[in-house]
Structures are given as structure tokens and as C-alpha cells.
Structure 1
């Protein structure tokens, strides 16, 4: 969809989107055919073009209008001398493995481009060519057809007629949606304190097409305070869709609840809302391969898709449960129905990976159709670490060794070659537990790429083999190879050797800015909001935000009298002082509890520290109720832990700073009356963090702050933010570490706190 569709008399669609809508049929087929990366695709196109003659025309812009429907796109290349129009596709491994519906889609695209070209240049005939480039070998496979202008025009019109009814529906929906959003009203009598200020800043960001860093305190209703103004701005700014991106599943639920209060769930506000769920969570048959011969929901998927798509957009509200209901009632896969519907949704609610990761669905849609997107990122203080994870990759020597023992004979040579290169790397490097390498080892990388090709071919020839370990290794190897392609000063190659035969080779992203900057540039506007976005320069630098990004801090609506903040600067929680710190920490916890019995959270820097403090506390104060977070808690155990915070009961819950209970949980009123933080929250000093510090110092001149101080204090403030959740709450926070007395650390605490 384009930004003008709501007001223009016609409708505009990209060639690829038109063909995807009208030309696919038969089974869904996602056998193990790893696709080239975006960079490989771009380089592959350039390689093909470099082999063509001087008169070759690349990236040929073509368009035509049929009965009010404008179809536009860029053909990959045209050779006027040979009168040959080319559609270039890159692939890995054997071309025979390509799904039938994919080949049909490719022919449909080049045929539509052929019709547009013949009309524009008055051609009577043209040679159509599908050029398939195998990435690893550089080998071209060219399939050609001779086509007349009349036949191509007839085919073009058939595609358009098949799409026109849908286009008219979309145009009408857009007009209805925008009219409703123009009248959108706040679902409450008034804004909460601080919420209006936040909403005004979000609306200004959407109006000016800028990025906004919005630091707003917990408890003011940030979810509604960002969604409402962004939705109100959609018709005025010609936004096609809005993406609400979260760090964890509970954030998606909050966004859906806010959209429901705005009338989206019951149709009062005609919004199409789609919840994006990870593939492994949405899959109905995880024990079956994803193709028509194995899964009943993949068989005939594209034949049943049109009816499922119509039913889905008619429903409008498509959270996980609703999408599943629609999908199963039409016999199609819920996950892939959701992927299809993303193009037609107004609001997408999903994980941050859906926009910021490699090959992200939402980013791909915007790039493909040129739509205008508004982005909201909840709990944005986590985006630095999440993005580092997205653009990092690791290989494990133990996994390779296990795989070699169980691998089929056809893979023994390539896997053996990889193992030998890995062993050589370990022998050639210094005998250290951890080492930073100047570059990604060429020998290992070359052998890895050969192994990838061999595994890909093998899985293509044995599509129903179901070898999970082989598939997992393939995906890890592909991820590593792709990170190696983009290796630069933003990342670090590390070799870790915790023991013989247990080496790990990793590419760790240190500065995600280089990968995220293009994502922010693609969006019309982006709002990153959290209770902890100080200092703004840290997030601007590490996230690659545009130079005109605006930073705003919403004034906290809480009074200093609501929160007692005490500093215990006579306690050191440094590692050498841990044993000595236990007695005063336990005494502080017990004294505060006896002064005001209630629910408390006590945060420690590690499980080892937590367990030592807990044992000491139980021995000294056996009558005070305590419980503790433990390693590897599953979702049920986490819910049970939180369920213990009920009004009327009391006790101290021990937890790890930065863990599941240090942020993103809501315990208002008497459910939580205080928190203790027995750490400064600094990441553990070690060779990796020291390398990170050096890299950040060289690039930004803020090495220690960016590697240690700021991330640590963000964790502290997030944990403390569990205490005051609303205007009626009262509580206490005790920060225990002598370093809290330093000016540079206190400057990162909320300015409404009154330190005692």
C-alpha cells in the first residue's frame, strides 16, 4: 500500500505483491533450502549484470495502469540488442529443489514486467528469461520463453482483474479506517498525569517524521500513551501501518489490551490488528516437515489461502488465538497465514526481531512496497543488548564433534575438513582461555561454507530425513557465515577454550548501530520509550539513531514523599568484599522488614551472591518468610513466584538483578512495598567486556561509561522501578554499595528521587 491510497481514486501495487497475490497455487513448501542473505542477493545481481554487455539496462523502472489499478516495479535487466528481459534470482544448492509455486511466481513476475515493457516501448515480442545464480559456484542457469505483446497484455490484465476486487476492498477499508482514526478519542475521561506530555511528544514525532527517545516513568500508561497519538497521526501523515515492538511476550499482551480499549477488538475502531508470533510457538505440527507431503496444513495452502485471507481481514482482530481459529477453520498453517496477512494489517504487534533482525518481516515489507511505517519500541533500554544478540553468531566445537559421529557418510568429508581446520586454529593461537582474533579465520570459514553447501545438498536430496541436529547446525553455520560477510569494527571475533575439544568461535556484535541505522532510516518515524533511557547519547550512539533524533524526559507524576530512597555507602558489594557484605546486608533487610512488614524484593548481582545472602538470612532470621528465584525457572515457576505477591501476605523475595523479576512486572499497592539492590549492576569485568570497553572508547570516547556504568545503572533503576507503580503507592528503596555515593553514578538515578 502507498501513503496516498486513502485519498487517491485508484490503487497502487508492486509487481511482486500483485504476483504473490494472484500467481501462487498448490502446497506450501519450506524444505531445507536456505536462502541467500540480502547482501548475497545484491552481490549476486551485480555479478550477473557485470557479465552483460555495455548496452544492458539494469533496474528498469516500469509501470502501467489498468482500470484504476497502477502496477509498478523495477525489472532486473533488459538487453535491447537481444530484446531479452531478465528476472534474476539467487539460490543455494540444487535448483531442482525449488518449490513449484516459487518457480510459477518467478515466471509470473517476468511476464508482468514483459507486458509493461512491451507497452512502454511498443514491442511486438520479447524474450523472457529467468536467470538463476547459484551463490556458492557463481553458475548461471537461464530459462527462456518467447512471448508476444498481446499474450503478455492478456496475462497482465488477468492478474489485474484477479486483484481489483481486493484492491477496491483495501481502498474502502483505508478510507473507513482513516476517517475513524481522525475521530479517535481517548478511552478515558482524561490522561493520567504525565501521559498527556508523552502523547504530545509522540504525535510531534509522527508529524515531523523524526525519531523520539521518550523517557517516561513507570505507571503513567506508556503503552496507551504512545499508541493513541500514533494512531491519531496515521491518517494525517499517510501512515500505512504501525508496528508496536516488544522485548517480551507480556509486552505484546499490554499492547493488545490497549488496542482493545481503543475499540479495535470489537470493531468499533476499524483497525486490522495482527499479533506476530514466533514460528515455533505457532506451529501446529512441530514433529512434521513444513511441506505438503508431510503437513496437512501445508498441503494445498495457496489454494485455500484466498478464502482464509478474506475471512481474516473481515474479522480484523487477529491476536494469536483468533488467527489460529481462522487458520484452522480453513485448513492452513497459522504461522504462514500470519506472514501473508502482515501486508494487509494496520497494526502489527510483535517482537523487536520482526523489524530489526536480519531478514525481518516488517522491514522487508516496507522495503518491498515503499509503505510508510510508524514504529513504537517498548522497553527500549533493552534494544542495545537485544540487537547485539541479533547480529552475533557462534559455533560450538562440541556440537560439531557430536554431529560428525552421527552424520551420514555423504557428509563425513566436509565435516571432517571443518573439524581439522578448527583444530589447526586452536593449535595456532595462543594458549589462553579467551582470545580476540584480528579477523574471522579464513580456513575455518572456507571449510564451513563448503560444509554448508554439502549439508544443504544432502537435506535437499533427503527432505523427509528429519535430522534435527543436522538442521540446527546448518542454521547456526549459515548465521555465522552471514555475520562473517559483514565483519567489521562493530564486531569482535573471539575464540573461547573452556577445555579440550570444547572451543567456541563467535562473532560478537559490539556496536549494533551500523546494522540498525538503516532500519530507522526506512521508517517514517520511530518512538523508543522506557523508564530508563538516560543518558540519551548512549542510546543514540549505540542504536544508530538519526542525528535529528529528539530526546524527551516526561516529568514524573510522583512526589518524592511517595518513595523513601536510602543509600548504604558503607557496604561494598565488590567480589573480594562479598563475604564481609553479607552481615550488614542481612541486617538491613531484616530491620526494614521489621519496621514495615510487607512484600519486598531483594536484588543481587548473581545467583551465587543471592544464595549466600539467602542462607545467611535464613540462619539469622528464621521467622521472616523468604523465597528465591532459582536458575532456569520456567514460565510456570515464574508465574508462581509472582503469585506470591498477594495483599495480606508478607515476605522477602530474593532475585537476580537484570533477571525475569527486575523489570517488566507490575506489583502495585501492597503487593510490593520495597526493594533492596545489593549491587551497582555493573557487568562482570573480563576480557570480553574489556575489549568492548576499548572498542567503545575508540569509537565514542565513552568506553567505561558505555560498557559498564550506564548498563549497570539502567538495571538498578529498572529494578527499583518495581516499587512505585501508581499515584497511591508508597514504598522504600535501599541501594547498597559505596559506589552509589559517587556523583557520576547518582546522576543516572531518577531526578525525582530524594536521596537519604
Structure 2
């Protein structure tokens, strides 16, 4: 493995330290002030920040106003300057001033906001002034000015009203402020430069932590290293059990110093994936020479706010939460302690945070700037407000991205870029809302009542038996499903007005924590912001199930337009899973470049390890399910009697599963069975898996695509077989047919992309629970005549010996 790594070219980027030992570090004005100017409390009250597009539009509006008044007014003025400390080390500071009026001797910094400016937190205002002072110092240097007027301009987006705050400072005063910020940043920056130099030196010597690679693991690692070395993406299909986590982390870490990568993000779909990554990183980190007392590689685990919060239900500001009070005053010491510790999983980060009395969640957000490897959920890079993507852009990082279980990214991304509003929630909110919100909520209610009366094409949704597959998730009643032909403009305007009113109310009453009001606000903001990006990749759905019972959804169908910029922002993105074929399907829907290679790593498993049988005499189609129950029960019993042990049986829905379980119990009550229930919590899921003991006997019944169809590991005789009574195809309905039509129009592969490929991927994932190691033996019984079709067989793993 070492040979291809040693042949890689060195990075063209200059290291932070030159041959003379002189440090030349670069920082943007925003990042400099972010680090040095914040003081006091965390304050995350309910002031909705403008979207990126709103902020850009606001800046353009101010620029147009200024140019209309004075054609010589300058906008987006590039400024740069150096700070040299007492030891000769150099910090290069650069940025763009929003506006410069040379005739008036004035520089502007423009900030957009919503609502009452008086509610802005003091630390936020201090940050804005610091940025303006630094721009002023750089402008005085560049143009030889002796005095300058500094204007902090706030634009309220709803009204278009400007508030201008002016200060006049001399060049000497501004230079002193500039040097103070630089000096405070420089001490930390030099430490970071030394860490980066030591990290890269250690990674150049990184060795594989085992004596040998597993079968298939070496070509996997070589493919990842090649992708990183050529700055491109990769779809990597590799069977379960060959060590994909370690096999992707090792080559990407090896590439970091050679390709000048600043950060590595390991993104997972579920918590167990994060644990595997953290364990692999700990093993790899143990092979590196430490930097004094600190590890050479800093690793951070990011978790969701609700899991990290020490005071649930408490607002995130100093008046309400003790860990928010004085947060920025205690942050420097906490940050220093954290980077010295280096390995910061959830427990370690919490320990450091509480020792310094700061919020663990927001300490983690801060440390994402300073850790080499971040392990988190896919949302942390791909979501609308993803922290890791925002940091990548703000700091112009070169990043490597690894996405585990990437076959799930299509559905996860659709969820990230979709939003839903419930009419019943609004009705309940109106009944209990304070009087100040009565009018905006009533206006929104009237728009709800009128919604869809004259828009769109109505489609009756076919009733199916999968939980949640009826339009709107309703059951037991007729459902009317409607795709709106145009965006509901009146509804969106009323929703935005209601969100502003709720925001104002919550900010004016910070002691009143109303979870229902807050939750509705967050839903409204998410909905209106996604509506700004509406195009043919999404649709507006209206689902009615009775008077006053309607759901309005902005449903994303094709996440590619949202994800493509995220992939483009990375130096190399590697998506890996046991099921990532066909490549075109994933490239098209995820927005990967057309030239992104899709590599399949040969399986380390032999065909004789897995007996595959197809019951061609059984049809699991919806119309044939009642007739299929008896032959399925007979097949399960026959296999169990032939080879007693632990089995999993997968079905397309809970209703189908329950019908088979009931009949199986009547006919074969002597065979132990246990089943997946609707809405199982973590404790119940653990209890289900605990039944699969070594040497045990019985059949566990589960739903295909659910918690037990992927991501679980039952090696040896803990699981010796699986029955799959479905092709995994989504049930036909109005919503699914709309998806098929959109995919057909865009890619010409509507049925394959909407039904067949996602269904068969679920089948392969479920079957993959059986063979986990080269020593395992087992059986998979595919119960449906369609498994015998050539186009279906072509999508099953190549190492299977199909009958």
C-alpha cells in the first residue's frame, strides 16, 4: 500500500512555515474579528437571520442607492494589509469593504436584519463594529488617509429602512485597533500553524494499523487515495465486512499533507456509523507521534443540539441558560483545553465544556473550525444551513469528504430540502396564541382555507397498506392529493408575515418559552426559505383528509441542484456503500459530475458461502398478497426445519408482516418468532436484536428498509438466513407517480429511478445482513417471481450464485 502513496505529488500550497522559520499566515477580516471581538453571552433569541439570497439582495439595494446618489461611490472594495509581530512573524489580513465614499472620507459596513434593531445582541453589534474598524484601518493604509468616518448601516429587509450609525476615527486610532486584533489572533494562529506543520509531518508517516489488509480493503483504499490525489469524486461500492470505514479514512488521511487538505469530514447516516469512525480514528491516531501533550490529529464528533443540550427547554441566551451567560468570555480557555485534549467525542467534549461552564453544543460548533477531522451526520455538510459547508466556504478550505452508507443520501437529501405545514397545528396554535398574534395567524388561516381551490390538478391517491405511504400519512379515510400548478403566493406571504410577528413576540417576551410557538416558527422559516429556491426539482403538494385537515408540503424530488454545489466545494468527495449501483442513478440524483467514476470492489466472499433460492411460484404484488401468505409460511417453516437457527424475514409493510406472523403462529407455534413493531424506540430495537444470540433459534420479522434491514451486524450463527418477500418497490400512488413523471421528464428513466433501483437496493442491503465475514455461511430466499427476470437479476450482487 505504501508504494502508490509515495509516488503522489506534493501539494502546491505553501506551508505556513517557510525555510527560515518565518510564519506567514492569512486570515479574512470576518474570521479575524469572529475570533477576537466577541464578548459576553451567547444570545440566540428569535430574530430570523436573512437568507443568503436576501442578504445579497440587501447589499445590492444599498449599493444601487449609493450609486444613484453618487456615481463615484465604490462597492466591494478589496483591501489587504500585513501585521508583523515582535518576532518578525507576519499575518496577512484581507477582505472586501461593502462601500467607500472617497469624497466624504467614509467607509460602510452593511448588515441586513429583520425586525426591531434594538433587539440585536450586544456581542453581535460589537462584532460588526470590529469588522468596520479593521476595514477602516486597511483603507487608511491603502490610501494614506489621516481620518475616516465609519458607517455601520443596518437594512431592515421587510421595510427597506436604513439605520446608519457613524463614528469618526483617526488613522492612528484605527491602526491601534487593527494591531490589537492581530496581536490577539497571532498567538493562536502561530499555535495553529505549528499544529498544522506537526500534523502533516505525522500524517506523512502514517502506517496502516494492522499487519495486513482484509481481502478487498487494499483496492478500496487505493481507489480513495487516487480520488483524493486527482481532486475528484468517487462512488465506491464495496461489500459489507471488508472494513470500509478504516479503508477510506486511512488513504484520505494519508492524502491530507500531500494534497494540502485542511479538513476531513466523515459523514454518517446513523449514530453507530459515527462510533465506528471514531474508533477507527483512535486506532489510526495511536500510530502517530503526539505533539507534546496533545495528539497530532484533532478529531471532533458533532452531535445534534437536542442531544448535547444540558438544559432542555431553555432558550439559548444568557438570561435563561447559565452555560450561555458569559460564554464568549470563557470560550478562549475552553477552546485551548479542548484542542490540547485533541480527541473530542461527545463525552469528552461535554467534559471539557462543563469544566469551563460553557455550552457543549456551541463549543463543538466553535471547535469545528480548529479540528482536523470532523465526524458528524450528513446534515452537517449537506443541509440548508450546514455548518461544515459554511465553514468550508468562509475559510476557503480544501476538504476531503467521506460519506458512509451513501445509498441513503438521496432520501436524506430529499428530506433536507423539503418542508411541511400542518393545518391542524395552525388551528391549535390559534386557539392558544397570545392576542398579539391573533391577526397574523388569522390571516394565515384564511389563506389555508382558500388554498388549492382553483390551482393544480387533483389526483386521488391510491390506497396502500404501507405505514405512511398514503398521501399525507393518513389512514382510514379518503385522501385528496393535489399538486399545485403554481406556488401558493398568498399563503407564502401570509406565512412570512406570521413568522415575523412570532419572532417579534418571542424576542419581546424572552422569559416565555412556548415550545409549540417556537416549533411552528422554525417550520415556517424553513418553508419560506425553501420556497425561494423552488423549481422543477420540487413541487407543492396539498393533501386533504377532511375539513380543516390539510398538509401543505414543499417536496423535493431531485436533490441534485442542492447537492451539486456541496460536492463542487470539496477537493474530493468519496461516497461508499454496499449498494451504489447503477452509477448513473446516483450521479443523476445526487448531482455528481457525469465523469464521476463508480468503482465496485470485488467481494471477499465466495458464492458457496451463500445459498440463494428464488420462489418463482410466489407473487408479493398487492393484489396477490392474501394468496401469498400460505406459501410464504410454508417456505419459512421448511427452511427452519431443514436448518434450525436464527433468521430474519422481511416484508414490504407492517400489515403484510402481521398477516404472515399471525398465520405462521397458527401453523407453527413451536417455532419462536419476534417482530418489529411500529414506532419502536431504541430500547425496543436493542431488545429485538438481543434475541439473535449465538446458537439461538427463531425467526425475526421485520419491514424492508426499516431499522433492521441495514446497519446491523449479526456475524456467525447469530444470523444464518434471510427471507425477502418483496422487491422493495414503493407502492403505486399519486405521490410516487408524480415522482416517476418528474424523473422520466428529467432523465428518461422514470420507472427505474422511482421504483426499481431504490427497491432492489433495499433488497441487497437486507440480504447483506447474512454474510458478514469470510467464515459465515447462510441462505437467502427471494420470494417473488420477478426475482427471476433478467433486468432484476442484473441488479443483484455479482458474487451471488443465482439459480
* TM-score, normalised by the number of residues in structure 2: 0.93
Judge conservation of contact 1:6–1:178 (CA < 8 Å) in 2.
Answer: no
1:644-683 aligned within 5 A: 644-683=691-730
1:306-385 aligned within 5 A: 306-385=332-411
Residues of 1 paired with 2:30 and 2:770: CA distance?
51
Aligned counterpart for 1:561 among listed residues 608, 613, 638: 608
Residues of 2 paired with 1:5 and 1:688: CA distance?
53
Judge conservation of contact 1:324–1:334 (CA < 8 Å) in 2.
Answer: yes
Task: Note the C-alpha offset of 1:264.
Answer: 5.3
Q: Please say if 1:31 is aligned against 2:48.
A: no
Residues of 1 paired with 2:383 and 2:685: CA distance?
28
Residues of 2 paired with 1:61 and 1:549: CA distance?
36
Report the counterpart of residue 536 of structure 1 in structure 2.
583
- Range moving further from structure 2, 172-181 or 63-72: 63-72
User: Could you report, residue by residue, the CA deviation over 1:424-471 in whole angstroms, capped at 9, with x for unpaired residues?
Assistant: 115445776001011221111111111111111111111111011111
Task: Note the C-alpha offset of 1:7.
Answer: 4.5
Report the counterpart of residue 281 of structure 2 in structure 1.
259
Report the counterpart of residue 241 of structure 1 in structure 2.
263
Report the counterpart of residue 513 of structure 1 in structure 2.
560
Judge conservation of contact 1:273–1:317 (CA < 8 Å) in 2.
Answer: yes
Task: Note the C-alpha offset of 1:55.
Answer: 2.5
Residues of 1 paired with 2:735 and 2:545: CA distance?
14
Residues of 1 paired with 2:662 and 2:181: CA distance?
72
Report the counterpart of residue 249 of structure 2 in structure 1.
227
Task: Note the C-alpha offset of 1:79.
Answer: 2.5
Q: Please say if 1:586 is aligned against 2:603.
A: no
Q: Runs of 4+ in structure 1 displaced over 6 angstroms?
A: none
Report the counterpart of residue 433 of structure 2 in structure 1.
407
Judge conservation of contact 2:609–2:778 (CA < 8 Å) in 1.
Answer: yes
User: Could you report, residue by residue, the CA deviation over 1:314-370 in whole angstroms, capped at 9, with x for unpaired residues?
Assistant: 000000000000000000000000001100010000000000001210001011110
Report the counterpart of residue 471 of structure 2 in structure 1.
none
Report the counterpart of residue 285 of structure 1 in structure 2.
311
Q: Please say if 1:113 is aligned against 2:131.
A: no
Task: Note the C-alpha offset of 1:124.
Answer: 1.6
Aligned counterpart for 1:417 among listed residues 437, 443, 450: 443
User: Could you report, residue by residue, the CA deviation over 1:593-640 in whole angstroms, capped at 9, with x for unpaired residues?
Assistant: 111111111000000001001001111110111000000000111111
1:41-440 aligned within 5 A: 41-53=55-67, 54-67=71-84, 68-263=90-285, 268=290, 270-428=296-454, 433-440=480-487
Task: Note the C-alpha offset of 1:555.
Answer: 0.7
- 3-state SS of the aligned residue for 1:659? coil
User: Could you report, residue by residue, the CA deviation over 1:376-402 in whole angstroms, capped at 9, with x for unpaired residues?
Assistant: 000000000000000001111000000
Report the counterpart of residue 475 of structure 2 in structure 1.
none
- 3-state SS of the aligned residue for 2:368? helix
User: Could you report, residue by residue, the CA deviation over 1:546-582 in whole angstroms, capped at 9, with x for unpaired residues?
Assistant: 2331211111111101111111121110111111001
Report the counterpart of residue 545 of structure 2 in structure 1.
498
- Range moving further from structure 2, 72-81 or 3-12: 3-12
Residues of 2 paired with 1:59 and 1:327: CA distance?
39
Report the counterpart of residue 801 of structure 2 in structure 1.
754
Judge conservation of contact 2:209–2:287 (CA < 8 Å) in 1.
Answer: no
- Range moving further from structure 2, 91-100 or 508-517: 91-100
Task: Note the C-alpha offset of 1:6.
Answer: 4.3
Task: Note the C-alpha offset of 1:403.
Answer: 0.2
Task: Note the C-alpha offset of 1:151.
Answer: 0.8
Residues of 1 paired with 2:762 and 2:713: CA distance?
16
- 3-state SS of the aligned residue for 1:262? helix
- Range moving further from structure 2, 543-552 or 242-251: 543-552
Residues of 1 paired with 2:14 and 2:53: CA distance?
31
Task: Note the C-alpha offset of 1:58.
Answer: 2.4
Residues of 1 paired with 2:13 and 2:348: CA distance?
28
Number of equivalent positions:
755
Judge conservation of contact 1:275–1:320 (CA < 8 Å) in 2.
Answer: yes
Residues of 1 paired with 2:314 and 2:501: CA distance?
23
- 3-state SS of the aligned residue for 2:328? helix
Residues of 1 paired with 2:248 and 2:706: CA distance?
26
User: Could you report, residue by residue, the CA deviation over 1:488-541 in whole angstroms, capped at 9, with x for unpaired residues?
Assistant: 000011100022111011110011000011101111110000000000001100
Judge conservation of contact 1:5–1:11 (CA < 8 Å) in 2.
Answer: no
Aligned counterpart for 1:474 among listed residues 518, 521, 526: 521
- 3-state SS of the aligned residue for 1:419? helix
Report the counterpart of residue 468 of structure 2 in structure 1.
none
Judge conservation of contact 2:229–2:255 (CA < 8 Å) in 1.
Answer: yes
Judged with a 3 Å threshold, the aligned counterparts in structure 2 of structure 1 residues 264 and 129 are, in CA distance, closer, same or farther, namely farther
Report the counterpart of residue 35 of structure 2 in structure 1.
21
Task: Note the C-alpha offset of 1:265.
Answer: 10
* TM-score, normalised by the number of residues in structure 1: 0.98
Residues of 2 paired with 1:241 and 1:82: CA distance?
44
Q: Please say if 1:728 is aligned against 2:754.
A: no
